[in-house]
A and B are shown apart, each in its own frame.
Chain A
């Protein structure tokens, strides 16, 4: 009897551990870099700073955490220069930096437990600061906003959440 209850207890603990890990993964967002597909919109010429590329993503907040309604969506446009005062910014670096900033911003917003109407704006604010801050940002000058352009491809996170809305 003791052996059986100990086995059950271990099984329950294992399930709890798995559940905890899954929840942690969801809460953190873990948005993959490939979610951010950058498209050049201002060509970069010469050796000086300039150019601009953007990625647009619809993030389903409801799939990040049960804190939000299933239908809650946050549209974000991430824009980065092709070259800033630190040098050239590759697509791969922009993607990794955007994904990391989005993960951190998601963690902050989920921790704050704010209403969904404000969550999207706060998410963009935090992501923009983490990514584009002049001093501490990974890509100084980058900006995060709602969709501004209508001529770039859009992705959705999570990827299997259905087609992105038409432009």
Chain B
């Protein structure tokens, strides 16, 4: 792995963008040097999505013709671009469906994938799961295709689960309803809002 993308390097990196030991409700959080640095990044994201990202969304629509593509990026919440690709043949209102979701960080050239499945037809009540690799066999072709497109387009590196879920107890994500001690690296590099 690129030496700039080791767990240690990524932990150091997030400490440049989030203040140590402060809750995000604390006025010192956004006023801190780290908070200001993250704010500047977020401001830049909000001005305009990079052409590479909007082109990528269009490319997904071409490559996954029978799927719904949802650009779910929340630029003012977190340093992350986010796209959701439904199962082929999805029709609005379907009771059973899945999505493969990609998260691309704007702090480092890294990405993550997860899968989200919903079964509203399940009795006695709806159920669902959210899964990081390994994906179920029926989703692996979609996973591989999406990963290939991200790497070919952006040259980003996919982070494995053991790095994504490293605890970072002294930092709190910008918009999460988290206290100190709850954050993982994935929450800080991407988003805690995974669904």
Contact = CB atoms under 8 A, between A and B. Distances in A.
Interface in A116-167: 118, 120-122, 124-125, 128, 132-136, 140-141, 143-146, 148-149
Nearest to A129: B177
- Best-surrounded residue of B84, B97, B130, B175 (most CB of chain A within 10 A): B175
Interface string A31-59: 00000000000000000111010000000
A141 B195 contact: yes
A108 to B, nearest CB: 14
B175 A145 contact: yes
A124 B115 CA distance: 25
Q: Report whether over half of chain B's contact residues are helix, strand or loop; otherwise say mixed.
A: loop
A140 B193 CA distance: 12
Contacts of A79: 74
A69 interface: no
Contact of B177 (A87, A121, A134, A141): A121
Given A85-B86, A87-B92, A141-B195, A125 B177 contact: yes
A85 B76 contact: no
A85 B76 CA distance: 23
A61 to B, nearest CB: 13
A148 B69 contact: no
A33 B29 CA distance: 32
How many chain B residues sit at the interface, stated as a range, is 20 to 34
Interface residues of A, number: 29
B175 A134 contact: no
Contacts of A87: 92-93
B69 A48 contact: yes
Interface string A80-109: 010001110000000000000000000000
Nearest to A123: B177
Contact of A135 (B94, B128, B179): B128
B63 interface: no
Contacts of B125: 136
Contacts of A85: 68, 70, 86, 90, 92, 94, 97, 99
Contact of B70 (A48, A132, A146): A48
Given A86-B92, A86-B93, A135-B118, A148 B177 contact: no
Contacts of A136: 125-126
Contacts of B66: none
22 contacts: A49-B68, A49-B72, A49-B84, A52-B74, A85-B70, A85-B92, A85-B94, A85-B99, A86-B93, A121-B25, A121-B179, A134-B128, A135-B128, A136-B126, A141-B195, A143-B74, A145-B175, A146-B24, A146-B175, A148-B77, A148-B175, A149-B76
Closest 3 CB pairs of A and B: A49-B70, A135-B128, A145-B175
Interface of A: 48-50, 52, 79, 81, 85-87, 118, 120-122, 124-125, 128, 132-136, 140-141, 143-146, 148-149
Given A49-B68, A121-B178, A122-B177, 9 more contacts: A50-B72, A85-B70, A85-B99, A124-B177, A125-B177, A134-B128, A135-B126, A143-B74, A145-B177
